[in-house]
Structure 1
Amino acid sequence: MLALAFLTGWHLTQHFVAKDKVTDKNTSANAMKVAIITAILGARIMYFVVNPEHLNSIADFFAFSRGGMVAYGGFIAATFSTIAYLKWRKVHVWRFGDAVAPALAIGTAITRVGCLLFGCDYGAISDLPWALSFPKGSPSFQHHFSEGLISADATASLPVHPTQIYESLYALLIFAILLWLRKIMQTSAPKISTKPRGYVFLTFVALYAFFRFLNEIIRADTGRGSLGPFSTSQFIAILTIGLAIWGFKAFKSPQNNR
């Protein structure tokens, strides 16, 4: 599913970059390559930063079949590396961000389906009608067994919040909102040179961070790390929302619209 997410995001980004006349196709493609590679590395590195006990050899780092990726780590790494590349190529960062934002949303939706199929990133035990049980051997099953909540002969975990589905559906909602915003912007500011820069990208950042903070409350998977009362992702979400608020003010400046 990760490959499908990257492939879908690639085509969406190329479409919107061309439509918005941000840069040429080759530069856009290279920027996406930088983003994809650093996203994978960043997500993996963040996982081992939070869970250093799981890294016993270099082989563990490349054992992707075991799972172990932190989305925010990938997002942070991809953002900074792509910005550096775009600056080097003299491409307007905010405009590229607006073009790539819908791809980030749809990519998140697809990736979380993969998390659902793998059984990671599960939620707390729940008796809600839509709560899901994962099969024997899944991360949630192993967690519940280690806590003594189920016996060794159980065939599935206890029912839990399908937090993967929650995030996937919310990402689809964000995707729809971003498309609507793009349409509104094109209607109110038909000339590319007069469009506000960064609004679409920052909207994605703020909305995703807000939901991620809430979703973390009912997440129960182990190895997410914590900083005080917050999980690692909640702490990053708080910082991200703050940066988004700053960005909303910054993108309105005349310098940003050049």
Structure 2
Amino acid sequence: MLLATLAAAAADHIHFTDLGLDKVALDLGFFQVKWYSLAYIAGILVGWWYLIRLLKQPGAPMSRAHADDLVFYATLGIIVGGRLGYVLFYGLDRFIQHPLDIIKLWDGGMSFHGGVIGTTLAIILMCRRQGLNWLRVHDYVACCAPFGLFFGRLANFVNGELWGKPADLPWAIVFPGAGPLARHPSQLYEAALEGLLLFAILAYAFWRTKARYEPGKLVGIFLLGYGCFRFFVEYFREPDAQFANTIFENVIHMGQVLCLPMIVGGIYLIATAKKRRERVEPIAGTESVA
């Protein structure tokens, strides 16, 4: 009865096809540029620009030269970690049967949680090579991460993917491939919470408090904020199809399971940040860099 009512009401809701959106931003015939690719590029470039602004403030953990190197390491961590995370968390059986599909990034399939792990490992590697405090560098990178989240979720919406559960709301949308029911535009919920609101919280903590002098505090705020926001939005998001008729559909979503360690880790880093506070030099590195 409920589904029938929602289906009847869907005619009065927004239809995705009426929005005039196309996942391809530029089509040259022999080559296509998709909005999803541009979202990654925009997130990295805008994050880089903002990172440079942060480094101009007193107590920066690295120099501009380090920041330029960091872009390469972080990009590699995002791509490799995001793809491998998707393989392990969301489609291991499929990729065991078709291992070559792992490198088909153009077919989609990236995990944010995997991207976080990959980026973390890449930054730790760079910091060890450059003699930098990896936790303080992570604090600055965490302040820039919401840009990528914001653009990425907008790209998900333009692609008409990762839609939400059926809803009878004025802003509910009928997505192609999601059946006749209008659904929550959960991609936009995530863009607002994980992107805009989380950025505002981190910006306040960086610019208005002494959080940047307490190693791990900004990372903790990011992990706790993202974990809570993502856990909340999962209640409005359609479960992943590969988990149909499993505990990850009916009890708790895989995205929520992956957020629990982030929430716990974030609380720990925030609670212990003051104990790690120490005298901060303006710029770390060798004399040729400083």
TM over 0.5, shorter chain: yes
Q: What is the CA–CA distance in structure 2 between the aligned matches of 1:224 and 1:25, rounded to whole Å?
A: 44
Match of 1:243 in 2: 265
CA RMSD of aligned residues (A): 2.3
Match of 2:36 in 1: none
Distance 1:224 1:90, change over 3 A: farther
Superposed CA deviations along residues 148-190 of structure 1, whole A, max 9, x for unmatched, are xx4xxxxxx521111110010112011112111222225xx9x
Distance 1:108 1:33, change over 3 A: same
Paired letter, 1:118: N
Superposed CA deviations along residues 55-109 of structure 1, whole A, max 9, x for unmatched, are 2545422322322111111112111221232133221223222222221012211
Q: What is the CA–CA distance in structure 2 between the aligned matches of 1:224 and 1:178, rounded to whole Å?
A: 34
2:108 is the alignment partner of 1:61: no
Match of 1:179 in 2: 203
Distance 1:239 1:205, change over 3 A: same
For structure 1, list consecutive stretches of 5 or more residues without a partner in the other structure.
136-140, 145-149, 151-156
Spell out structure 1 runs of 4+ moving beyond 6 A. none
2:236 is the alignment partner of 1:218: yes
Match of 2:274 in 1: 252
2:46 is the alignment partner of 1:24: no
Paired letter, 1:249: A
Higher relative contact order (CA closer than 8 Å, sequence separation 6+): 2
Q: What is the CA–CA distance in structure 1 between the aligned matches of 2:84 and 2:181, rounded to whole Å?
A: 31
CA contact (8 A) 1:102 1:175 kept: yes
Paired letter, 1:243: G
Q: What is the CA–CA distance in structure 1 between the aligned matches of 2:129 and 2:56, rounded to whole Å?
A: 20
The partner residue of 2:183 within 154, 160, 172 is 160
Paired letter, 2:198: I
Match of 1:86 in 2: 127
Superposed CA deviations along residues 192-240 of structure 1, whole A, max 9, x for unmatched, are 8xx3223222111111100111111221152475766332221121111
Match of 1:232 in 2: 254
Match of 2:158 in 1: 117
Q: What is the CA–CA distance in structure 1 between the aligned matches of 2:214 and 2:72, rounded to whole Å?
A: 27
Match of 1:207 in 2: 225
Q: What is the CA–CA distance in structure 2 between the aligned matches of 1:227 and 1:42, rounded to whole Å?
A: 25
Paired letter, 1:2: Y
Q: Which moved more, 1:167-176 or 1:53-62?
A: 53-62
Superposed CA deviations along residues 122-151 of structure 1, whole A, max 9, x for unmatched, are 11111111111223xxxxx1xx4xxxxx4x
SS state at 2:232 partner: helix
SS state at 2:274 partner: coil
Match of 1:42 in 2: 81
For structure 2, list consecutive stretches of 5 or more residues without a partner in the other structure.
1-38, 280-290
Paired letter, 1:232: M
Q: Larger radius of gyration, structure 1 or 2? A: 2
Q: What is the CA–CA distance in structure 2 between the aligned matches of 1:92 and 1:250, rounded to whole Å?
A: 17
Q: What is the CA–CA distance in structure 2 between the aligned matches of 1:227 and 1:161, rounded to whole Å?
A: 22
Q: What is the CA–CA distance in structure 1 between the aligned matches of 2:143 and 2:241, rounded to whole Å?
A: 29
May I ask how many residue pairs the two structures share in their alignment?
Answer: 233
SS state at 2:148 partner: helix
Match of 2:35 in 1: none
CA contact (8 A) 2:166 2:184 kept: yes
TM, length-normalised to structure 2:
0.73
